[in-house]
Structure 1
Amino acid sequence: MKALVEEVNSVQKRIKVELSQEDVKNAFDSVYKRLKQKARIKGFRPGKAPLGVIKKFYGNSVAMDVADQLVKSHLFSAIQDQSIQPIAAPVLETMELPAEDKPYSFSALVDILPAIEIEGYKGLELSYDAIEVGESALNQELEVLQRRQGKTKEVEGDDVAAADGHLVTLSQTATLDGNDFPPFSFEKVPVELGKNNLLEEIETQVVGLKVGEGKTFDVKIPESFQDESLVGKTVSCTTTVEAIQEMIIPELNDDLAKDLGLEDFETLKKNISDSLQKQAEQGKRNQLEGSILEQLSEKNDFDVPPSMVDQVIDSMFEEMQFPSEEAKTAAKNDPEKRKELREPAKQRTKNTLILSEIIKAESIEVSDEDLDQHVRELVSSPGAAEQPDDNLIESIKKSMGNQARESLLFKKAIDLVLENASVTENKAK
């Protein structure tokens, strides 16, 4: 066996494997021997068919089996002999079928990690926009909590009409150009009026209707609609009020806090304030982290392995919502959809390689104690009376696999960059 290596680029090598006629002949003999033992050919007892009959009966399928055997038995040993460290399965390029009386060769593309040395990750100048956490934000959260804890009851009286503040149950059919239009059709959906949960044109028509009443009207498709080609077109809607309920909103007092398992209203407010502060800190960190990765990406230009990008694209599809597994699979295999995600996936991959190099350069490590604390922080609620026990932490660590450790390593790398950076706060106007 002879192996030739060609550098395609900094993250890909092409390896060409050349095999002697003797290697090929031995592979054919091995396949024929196996086939002869199991072949069931009319007119011959099992294992007794002549070689000539075997060759004629199986034809090109033998050459295909031989090609597969030659690749499996020689490609990875050739890669190892050439001290290539692949990061994904090699991709075979177009190859011809082997012939018994000739030498044989094939080639494959092998992805490798780029040889990079990250520069400029110390001394960065960073800034972030201040996120104010005041009474206004606290009051908004309390209002949301109030409504979430509210209860509903049927509005009494046949003459009651739908109005702002009512929770109405609606059914709607819609047509566009005389055809059913599912995006604007629904059945028995509860909607609180006056909270911008419906298109304004629809909500305006609903206000004033009584239970059992309906109305037909036209609505223009808004600019925010997902299919831009339909924006501005007119949809005919028929909406019926199925039920009208009113919201019973609890007061902001100790009783509300106790219903939530807390001691008193002051404790509830403190928990919400702590949560808002944590969100603000995370928002600040997200801004700084984004700036760090953007600057380091600009300072360090290198290729990223295509196989890593493809893996990231697959993970991006996993993060998306699809109506079914079939729809997800179809999207994953759609070349146009994958093309749309390629650039952001390349950037994600580059960010991962940058942080990995910083981790290696700075010998950053994660202890078991670090990992336990990190997982506790991920799953704990601020101010909660009970914190997750050790069994739950171990279960979560097991389910996350290496993801938790990798996440903490990347966090420590960002922390190191922040510790060595000049950080400025942009005051809120």
Structure 2
Amino acid sequence: MQVTETLNEGQKRGYAITLTAAELDAKVTEKLKDAQPDVEMKGFRKGKVPMALMKKKFGQSVLGEAMQEAIDGAMSEHFEASGDRPAMQPEVKMTNEDWKEGDDVAVEMTYEALPEIPEVDMKGIKLERLVVKADDASVEEALANLAETAQSFEDRKKSAKAKDGDQVVIDFAGKVDGELFEGGTGEDYPLVLGSNSFIPGFEEQLVGTKAGDEVAINVKFPDEYGAEHLAGKDAVFDCTVKAVKAPKAAELDDELAKQFGAEDLAALKGQISERLEEEYKGAARAILKRNLLDVLDKKVDFPLPASLVDSEAKAIAHQLWHEDNPDVEGHDHPEVTPTDDHVGLAERRVRLGLLLAELGTKADIQVSDQEMTQAIMNQARQYPGQERQFFEFVQKNQQMQQQMRAPIFEDKVVDYVFELAKVKDKEVTKDDLQKAVEALEQE
């Protein structure tokens, strides 16, 4: 088999591969010999069918497979010998489209080679890690928020008017076109005003009512309402207000702590402090990672495969377009053309992605089966009742597995670099950390 270079410009590579008719015939014969022991044919014992007859009967059926295996083998040998790593799947096509049996096979292979990644002195990188301690004020604030979620309600005076945040106990009956509809009635229903748990406009009309009031609430179901027979329809709800109750925050005591699984209030405060500091660590790590990537981006420069940059730029432009047009859920929309800003961001992502991949490979960083299983389980929880189906879907989908493995691998490489770099802790306030996070989000 002959392999001849036809293109070598930047990262672009091209090769002409010629598979001679004799080589292809030998490959077909080899495959038929492998199958011969199991072949039975009238007039011959099992495994004794002559090769000439085998070729006549089965040659055409294995020809395509033999051709593909031979070309794949040539490609593998080329990459092993040259050391090239294609940025994306090589494009392979036959150049003699009028090929017929007995002719040589001429194939053209083109691809972009991944560049050589320069060495980076990780020990020379200096970074600053923000450290925030959970102070008493933050713990008390979080505790008060917990108490609010555990709040109860107590009756107001009979003449008291309902306010936002109050709970009203109501009987209601909803009608569309004068007819009651399924699911539109209820008795002794506790509704917190301002919770937005009913359709838009409903709760606002109960503000100012008092126990004993009977009111007709006029609303319109949203156009995108789940029940098609009600979507966009005007409705009237006849409501009777049976009670108006004011919110009462839970007492900050041991009983409250037990509601949240702690032995006493002191233990609950300890748990809150630990949780807050974990949140702070997560935010600080995101900032540290961004700073590291900024440093690495400035330290390295190498030619980037245009195909990877183009693909990434299109993905960025597409994602941002959907963020600007949240009402469009599908992909039936005009083609989105990447801007110079999209291309610049794509170049950064590709450069850093290739660098981190190289660092991880050299350090033999692996994503374990246990880490993948945990990641799949975490994501499966987003689909209550369908966890098993999601798990099985991921197990059968290599592309999905790669999408989930990539961020785990990246984080492990980043942690590896943190260990090598000079990282200095700097204690700051919660407000300082928040400002740093906001600055990060604005970039």
* TM-score tier after normalising by the smaller chain length: 0.5 to 0.7
Deviates more, 1:274-283 or 1:138-147: 138-147
Question: What pairs up with 1:17-416 in 2 under 5 angstroms?
Answer: 17-23=17-23, 66=63, 69-81=66-78, 82-84=81-83, 86=85, 90-96=89-95, 97=97, 98-110=99-111, 112-119=113-120, 121-124=122-125, 126=127, 133-150=134-151, 163-166=163-166, 192-194=192-194, 204-208=204-208, 213-216=216-219, 240=237, 249-302=249-302, 303=304, 347-358=348-359, 363=363, 407-416=411-420
Give the superposition deviation at 1:356.
4.2
In structure 2, C-alpha distance between the alignment counterparts of 1:160 and 1:31, rounded to whole Å: 90
Amino acid of the structure 2 residue aligned with 1:255? E
In structure 1, C-alpha distance between the alignment counterparts of 2:419 and 2:67, rounded to whole Å: 50
Would the aligned equivalents of 2:202 and 2:219 in 1 still touch at CA under 8 Å?
Answer: no
Would the aligned equivalents of 1:126 and 1:292 in 2 still touch at CA under 8 Å?
Answer: yes
Give the superposition deviation at 1:358.
4.3
Identity of aligned residues (%): 18
Would the aligned equivalents of 1:166 and 1:192 in 2 still touch at CA under 8 Å?
Answer: yes
State the secondary structure of the residue aligned to 2:17.
strand
Q: 1:285 to 1:29 in 2, by over 3 A?
A: closer
Q: 1:306 to 1:88 in 2, by over 3 A?
A: same
Would the aligned equivalents of 2:14 and 2:109 in 1 still touch at CA under 8 Å?
Answer: yes
**Paired position in structure 1 for 2:394:** none
Amino acid of the structure 1 residue aligned with 2:90? V
State the secondary structure of the residue aligned to 1:107.
strand
Taking structure 2 as the reference length, the TM-score comes to: 0.53
Would the aligned equivalents of 1:86 and 1:112 in 2 still touch at CA under 8 Å?
Answer: yes
Q: 1:299 to 1:166 in 2, by over 3 A?
A: same
State the secondary structure of the residue aligned to 1:17.
strand
Q: 1:270 to 1:292 in 2, by over 3 A?
A: same
Q: 1:112 to 1:144 in 2, by over 3 A?
A: farther
Q: 1:337 to 1:142 in 2, by over 3 A?
A: farther
Give the superposition deviation at 1:70.
1.6
**Paired position in structure 2 for 1:181:** none
Amino acid of the structure 1 residue aligned with 2:116? A
Give the superposition deviation at 1:117.
1.5
Would the aligned equivalents of 2:151 and 2:249 in 1 still touch at CA under 8 Å?
Answer: yes
**Paired position in structure 2 for 1:417:** 421
Deviates more, 1:403-412 or 1:288-297: 403-412
In structure 1, C-alpha distance between the alignment counterparts of 2:219 and 2:197, rounded to whole Å: 19
In structure 1, C-alpha distance between the alignment counterparts of 2:131 and 2:111, rounded to whole Å: 47
Amino acid of the structure 1 residue aligned with 2:218? K
State the secondary structure of the residue aligned to 2:262.
coil
Q: 1:282 to 1:403 in 2, by over 3 A?
A: closer
State the secondary structure of the residue aligned to 2:107.
strand
Would the aligned equivalents of 1:125 and 1:423 in 2 still touch at CA under 8 Å?
Answer: no
Q: 1:168 to 1:236 in 2, by over 3 A?
A: farther
Give the superposition deviation at 1:344.
6.2
In structure 2, C-alpha distance between the alignment counterparts of 1:345 and 1:237, rounded to whole Å: 49
**Paired position in structure 2 for 1:396:** none
The gaps in structure 1 that reach 5 residues or longer are: 39-46, 56-61, 174-185, 220-234, 318-326, 380-398
State the secondary structure of the residue aligned to 1:99.
coil
Q: 1:401 to 1:297 in 2, by over 3 A?
A: closer
CA RMSD between the two structures = 6.3
Amino acid of the structure 1 residue aligned with 2:354? L
Give the superposition deviation at 1:255.
0.7
**Paired position in structure 1 for 2:227:** none
Would the aligned equivalents of 1:169 and 1:190 in 2 still touch at CA under 8 Å?
Answer: yes
State the secondary structure of the residue aligned to 2:421.
helix
Give the superposition deviation at 1:113.
4.1
Would the aligned equivalents of 1:356 and 1:410 in 2 still touch at CA under 8 Å?
Answer: no
Deviations 1:226-273 (A, max 9, x none): xxxxxxxxx997685889885564321101112323221011112111
In structure 1, C-alpha distance between the alignment counterparts of 2:65 and 2:194, rounded to whole Å: 67
In structure 2, C-alpha distance between the alignment counterparts of 1:334 and 1:108, rounded to whole Å: 34
In structure 2, C-alpha distance between the alignment counterparts of 1:74 and 1:300, rounded to whole Å: 36
State the secondary structure of the residue aligned to 1:115.
coil
Amino acid of the structure 1 residue aligned with 2:150? Q
In structure 2, C-alpha distance between the alignment counterparts of 1:410 and 1:248, rounded to whole Å: 47
State the secondary structure of the residue aligned to 2:94.
coil
Give the superposition deviation at 1:365.
6.9
**Paired position in structure 1 for 2:386:** none
Aligned length: 345
In structure 2, C-alpha distance between the alignment counterparts of 1:211 and 1:84, rounded to whole Å: 82
State the secondary structure of the residue aligned to 2:116.
coil
Taking structure 1 as the reference length, the TM-score comes to: 0.55
Deviations 1:313-333 (A, max 9, x none): 99xx9xxxxxxxxx99x76x9
The gaps in structure 2 that reach 5 residues or longer are: 41-48, 175-183, 223-231, 319-327, 379-400, 436-443
In structure 1, C-alpha distance between the alignment counterparts of 2:407 and 2:286, rounded to whole Å: 19
State the secondary structure of the residue aligned to 1:282.
helix
In structure 1, C-alpha distance between the alignment counterparts of 2:274 and 2:82, rounded to whole Å: 54
Would the aligned equivalents of 2:313 and 2:345 in 1 still touch at CA under 8 Å?
Answer: no
Deviations 1:75-104 (A, max 9, x none): 233332434454688433443543235322
Q: 1:105 to 1:152 in 2, by over 3 A?
A: farther
